[in-house]
Every structure is written in structure tokens, then in C-alpha cells.
Structure 1
Amino acid sequence: MKLRHWERIAGRGLDFTELGFGTAMIGNLYQPISDDEAHATLEAAWDTGCRYFDTAPLYGLGLAETRLNRFLRGKNRDDYILSTKVGRYLEVCPPEERSGIGKFFETPIRREVYDYTHDGVMRSIDQSLERLGVDRIDILFAHDLDIFNHGSQEALQERLDAFMASGYAALLSLRDQGVITAFGAGINEWEPAQWLAEHGDFDLFLLAGRYTLLEQEALDTFLPLCTERGIGIVLGGPYNSGVLATGPVKGAHFNYDLAPQNVLDKVARIEAVCQKHGVRLIEAALRFPLNHDAVVSVIPGGASVRQVEDNQAILSADIPDALWTDLKSEGLLRSDAPTP
């Protein structure tokens, strides 16, 4: 698998595999899978050449990190990149107070506690190191500093201010001491990521969607800023929650909700152009973000061996340059979107 070297600070570079592995699904997101199924899925990812694994305390309320523990135990620590997240830690609670009910299944009985302070960040790191069973984490992302999770711009701004006043200093110190290689934020919207980049010294952002075949508004100001400052982008959600994988079918999802008709119509037009060039929609969707120099890895995730193997095959598909040209000429892709 191809590697992308990222190095913002001299001597502190990381080699990302173009295809990373997001672990939300092995945290029993939407449906439970067994420990053995999760382990086989992770091993299948390794066998494809994947060497970047992203996780978070939220994913299965610690379950994803615990399952990574078993998988990583037999691996040389220098052979892979590992990222996890801070901003919420976990605590034991009564069963009826468990977080993620209806979203994560068969998880430990824990509740999430948002805490973007210095102490909260350090507590979260300590818990993650224990669950992961490793002695170091390469990248730490402040998790979910966005409107999607906090409900309003005002509530988000309070969280952003709290983080920059306290938790940010913890991450900056850990990086400066060489305890971690890099830090950033894992966010569902590009606007707060840009705000953070303008107010601090960030290395990487994990952006869930927001730069896909359907959404390129980040090209206005955010991605140029990242390019200027050497900030890398890990792109999660390349299928916009599903519609760019399934196509414009009934019940397709777009950004965590049912896709509206205007989105389905646009996807149908994009798919028609793809078919003209003998390319599947899902292949174009997975490859598109990697055309941007700031993007270091795409992490679609997977809940089974077959899904992991399919992701590798999808990324390996041959896509003619003329596909991107036609998408632009038909107004389906921004003219300034980087393409081969």
C-alpha cells in the first residue's frame, strides 16, 4: 500500500498508509460483532498493508481500544501509527445511564464525560493507554469540537474556549516533550477546525466527511490554510455516511440522516458519469480526497474481513483522468478541486 510522508516539524514525520482503519465499527457501532470477528477484521486490515489505526474512547465506550490491545500486542510498535482522542473520558455508571444506547451495542457500562480541560485531557490519555496496552500514542485528536455534538454555535464556542484555555496546553506540552508526535482535532465540520488552526499550533485534523465528491466547501479557506501551514488531513467518512457507497437508493444516508432528494439527484448524475468511464461510484468517492496534497490518509473503517478487503480493492481501482474532467465540466465537481 502506498505511503504518504507527513512532516510539519523537522524530524517528527509520520508515514501514513493511504488507507487507514477507523475503529468505530469494531466498537460495535450500529451492530455488535464478536471479539474474534473484530480481531480477524483488524488482521485483515494489516494484511492489506494498512499501518494506520485510529480509535477513540467513545467507540464502544472503550471497547474499540480494548480490542486494539489484543491485536497490537504482537506487533512491533514502530511498524504502525496509532491515534486516539481526548475531550471526553469514561466513568462507571448505572446501566440505565450508559452512553450511546441505540448507537453502540454490547459495550461496557460506562458513560462519557465531556472534559476539554488539562486534567480531563490527561485523564483521558491515561485511560486510553491502559485500554490500548501500549506505551505511547502517536497522535491525539481533541474529539467532537463541533456543532453536531454540542448543538449550537454558542455551546460550541464555550467548548472551544475551554479547550484552548486549558486542554490545548496539555497537548502542546506533550508534543514539545516528544511524548506524542502530533496533535489536532477530530471534527465533523471544517469551520471549527479552521477556527482552531487560526488560534493554535495544530498538526493534523481528522475531518469526518466535509471534503468529498458531494462537499468541497472546505476548498474556500480551510484547505488552503492547511496547505500553507503544512497541516495534514485524515479524511473520515468519504462516503458521506453511505450515499456515495450505495448510490441514490431508497433509504440511503447522507451525513447521518436520510439523504434528501436533491442529494440523491446529484449522486445519480455523478454515478452516471462514473459509469460512462467504467468506474464505480464508490471507487471515485474513496479516491477523490486523496487527490488533495493535504490529505494524508482516508479511513473508511470496516466491520468485517470482507469490508476491509473490499476497501483495498476499491482504492486500487484504475480511474481515468477524464472522469474528473467530465465531473468538472458538468458542474458536479468544483473546478478548483485538485485532480490528477
Structure 2
Amino acid sequence: MTHQSTGRRTIRGTAVELTGLGFGASTIGNLYKLTPAEDAAAAVEASWQAGIRYFDTAPHYGLGLSERRLGAALRDRPRAEYVVSSKVGRLLVPNETSRGVDGEGFVVRDDLRRQWDFSRDGVLRSLEATLQRTGLDRLDVVYLHDPDDHWRQAAEEAMPTLAELRDQGVIGAIGAGMNQSAMLSRFLRETAADVVMLAGRYTLLDQSALDDVLPAALELGKSVVAVGVFNSGLLSGDWPAEGMKYDYEDAPPALVARAREISAVCSAHGTTLPAAAIAFAYTHPSIINVTLGMRNREHVTRNVELHRRQVPEDLWNDLRARGLIRPEVHGENQDEGVRDVFDRQGDRADS
């Protein structure tokens, strides 16, 4: 059975521990639609009650709204008991050409705008602003946010700045978060990154991360946080429908058909497509956490239940045999040598 509790796993090489399930705070920054403040607070509260202790946010999410709401919701919690990650690379600056509503997917006023900046000064300013918005005394994990078009500055200025702060004990762990896997592999191999946040590239519909970042993490003894495991929605329901999103756009009919094939196999094994989509991430030993966006209490309840559901190991065997997932995917029955690598490098799960 593939099954993950909310027990903690360490980001390898650091002292930072993440629960197996994380709270993605983009939705409480009004991603795609308005999230009432009381719903945002209730989502964090329900997550806490369910044992979730890893919370991820970013300045980009709602032009700071996500950070403010998350900080407020955690303010009275014991600081040593939870982990917060945020991101750098987009400074929030006054918007002189405001049109009233943000144009990057968040339902908020655009009094501020995002300004790309992976310089040392930009990183330090961004971190200071995040601490002010959240009211936190520190960040446990900091990621470079979508540095796709900024490799040189991100690798040569931003990451060394974060490494310096990590080495001083100001930050617990550092890395990068992206929707592609190739550059994340470069961050693991060529910079001081401890962890990467991989969005949508190791899912039931896309295992391209097996070509680069996941082997790199395995080889180097570094960690991966998986997000986007539903591929923007196509894998989030028991039966995929036309018009559902895949990687932020309408899903092509061929992908909808393939998702339905996978769903039928899941059903035959007594589970559901979204439960399998979450469990699938844990079939690779470098992935220590799945973080899901949760907008309200109901989302939390559903996602926690899906996360705790046991998925039969034979499902992966069946999907491989049908050519629906790549042959390299093995699940819990991975080569013992692979597991030994991680045992030696200090991976541990505390129940």
C-alpha cells in the first residue's frame, strides 16, 4: 500500500522537518476567485487540527494577501511547531498604472505590481517585506520563485545570498520552485540548494521529472516537495470532464481521455483518481512532501482524507503494464539500494 501520514520528514542535510502534507496558500490569496477572510482563517485552522505543520506562501500570491492572511492565522500558534516557506524573485512595488484588478490570476486590487529581481538587494528587500507582512520572526524555507528567464542572476546572486543566510542560521533551508524540471535539476547540481518545489512534472499524466530533477535529487541526497499533483485540476475529480484545466489551460481531449483511462483503473483497484494522484508523488523516494492548495475548511477535509487513503501497490503495476505511466515508476517496491541511499543520508519519518 502507498500511504503517507502527516508525520514529518527532514529536508535532507538540514534540520527542517516537513509534514507529509502541506498547506498551499495561493488560494487564500484569492487565486482565480475571491476567498472570504473567514474561509481563509478556517482553512488554516482545519489544517492545523488535521496535523498539517507545513505552510507555503509567496509575495506573488494575491500581491501579498496570502502572506498577510497566513501570518495572521498562525500568529497565536507555537512558532517552534510549524514550518513556513515563502519565495523571492518578485518584489512588490507601487503600481503607477493601476487598472483596478490584478491581471495575473488573483482577484485583488492592483495597487502594487510585481517586479522581477533576483539580485542580492532584491532578495534581502523581499525577505524583509515578507516578514513584515506575515508578522513572523523568521522563514524556515525560502525558494527562488519561477526563475526560468533569470538563471544567471538567480544562480549567481540570489542563491548565494540565501546560502549565506542559511549558513548564518537565519533560514533553515533554501531552494527553487518552478513549473519545469530541467532547471530545477541545475539548481540542485550547480548551486547550494537543499530542496526544490516541483510543480506538475511528476504526476499521473506527466513524469518528465524522471529525466532530470528526480535522478539529481536521488544522486545528491537532496529533497523534493511536490505541488501541482492534480495538474491544475484534471486529476482532482473522480471522473475527468471536458473543460477541466491542465497546466492552467483547458485540457486537450486526448489528455482527458487518458485521465479517464487512469481513473477507470483506479476504480478497478478500489480507489479514486485524486487519491492516486496524491499517492503517486510518494512513489519517488526523493519526494518528501505533497503540498495542496486549500481554500476553505471543506477543501482541507477532503484533501486530508484523500492523502490518508491507502492506495494499493498493484495500481502502479497495472498502470505500468497498460503503458499509462512510465516503466521507471516503481512505488514502494523500489530497489533496496535506492532506499539504502536515503537511509544513509538521514531521511527519516516520525509518526
Determine if the TM-score, normalized by the shorter chain, exceeds 0.5: yes
Normalising to structure 1: TM-score of the pair?
0.93
Shift of 1:8: 2.9
From the superposition, tell whether residues 107 and 195 of structure 1 become closer, same or farther in structure 2 (CA, over 3 Å): same
> Of residues 206, 226, 249 in structure 1, which corresponds to 2:241?
249
1:234 maps onto 2:246 in alignment: no
Where 1:272 maps in the other structure, the secondary structure is helix
8 Å CA contact 2:223–2:288 kept in 1: the answer is yes
1:263 maps onto 2:255 in alignment: yes
Taking the TM superposition and a 5 Å limit, the aligned residue runs for 1:28-177 are 28-94=30-96, 96=98, 100-101=102-103, 103-107=105-109, 109-146=111-148, 156=149, 159-177=150-168
Q: Structure 1: 5+ residue runs without aligned partners? A: 147-155
More contact order relative to length (CA 8 Å, sep ≥ 6):
2
Counterpart of 1:31 in structure 2: which amino acid?
A: K
> Of residues 296, 301, 316 in structure 1, which corresponds to 2:288?
296
Query: In 1, Cα distance between the equivalents of 2:314 and 2:195?
Result: 31
- 2:271 aligned residue: 279
Counterpart of 1:167 in structure 2: which amino acid?
A: A
| Cα deviation 1:196-220 (Å, max 9, x = unaligned) | 2222121010111100011112112
Query: In 2, Cα distance between the equivalents of 1:319 and 1:131?
Result: 40
Query: In 1, Cα distance between the equivalents of 2:136 and 2:329?
Result: 39
Shift of 1:296: 1.3
Where 2:176 maps in the other structure, the secondary structure is strand
RMSD, matched Cα: 1.5
Counterpart of 1:182 in structure 2: which amino acid?
A: A
Normalising to structure 2: TM-score of the pair?
0.90
From the superposition, tell whether residues 222 and 59 of structure 1 become closer, same or farther in structure 2 (CA, over 3 Å): same
List structure 1 runs of 4+ shifted beyond 3 angstroms: 97-100
Query: In 1, Cα distance between the equivalents of 2:162 and 2:124?
Result: 9
Q: Structure 2: 5+ residue runs without aligned partners? A: 333-351
1:225 maps onto 2:177 in alignment: no
Where 2:174 maps in the other structure, the secondary structure is strand
Alignment length (residue pairs): 327
8 Å CA contact 1:99–1:111 kept in 2: the answer is no
Where 1:16 maps in the other structure, the secondary structure is strand
From the superposition, tell whether residues 15 and 102 of structure 1 become closer, same or farther in structure 2 (CA, over 3 Å): closer
Query: In 2, Cα distance between the equivalents of 1:7 and 1:240?
Result: 24
Counterpart of 1:117 in structure 2: which amino acid?
A: S
8 Å CA contact 1:185–1:206 kept in 2: the answer is yes
> Of residues 295, 298, 310 in structure 2, which corresponds to 1:318?
310
From the superposition, tell whether residues 107 and 303 of structure 1 become closer, same or farther in structure 2 (CA, over 3 Å): farther
Counterpart of 1:242 in structure 2: which amino acid?
A: G
The alignment-based identity, stated in percent, is 38
